[in-house]
Amino acid sequence: MSHDAPSSLDAIIAAYKATLDQSLIRRSLQRTIEERLETLMQLQEFAEELRRAGRAVRVG
């Protein structure tokens, strides 16, 4: 068996890669590290707010 043959992991990653939004990557690379981390914190806050809203619907 050749060790140079692509692994099934390569095939899986290639399949995921084909679905990526390249424009999102380009946009992210234009930001500074600090801007990316700030965006990440905003995203967390947004996700938490959605979870709260979801819980309220289930309880109500």
Partner 1 sequence: MTDFKALLRALADGGVEFILVGGVAATVHGSSRLTVDVDAVYRRTRENIDRLVLALTSYRPYLRGAPPGLPFRWDAATIKGGLNFTLTTDVGDVDLLGEITGGGGYDSLVPATVSIRVFGVECRCLTLDKLIEVKRAAGRPKDFEAIAELEAIREERKDRR
Residues in contact with partner 1 by CB under 8 A are: 9, 12-14, 16-17, 20, 22, 24-29, 33-34, 36-37, 39-41, 43-45, 47-48
Closest CB to partner 1 among residues 33, 57: 33
| Interatomic CA distance for residues 56 and 30, integer angstroms | 37
Task: Please report, to the nearest 10 degrees, the dihedral formed by the alpha carbons of residues 34, 36, 37, 40 taken in order.
Answer: 160
Residue number, 47 or 53, with CB nearest to partner 1 = 47
d(CA 30, CA 58): 40
Q: How far is the CB of 49 from partner 1 (least distance, A)?
A: 10
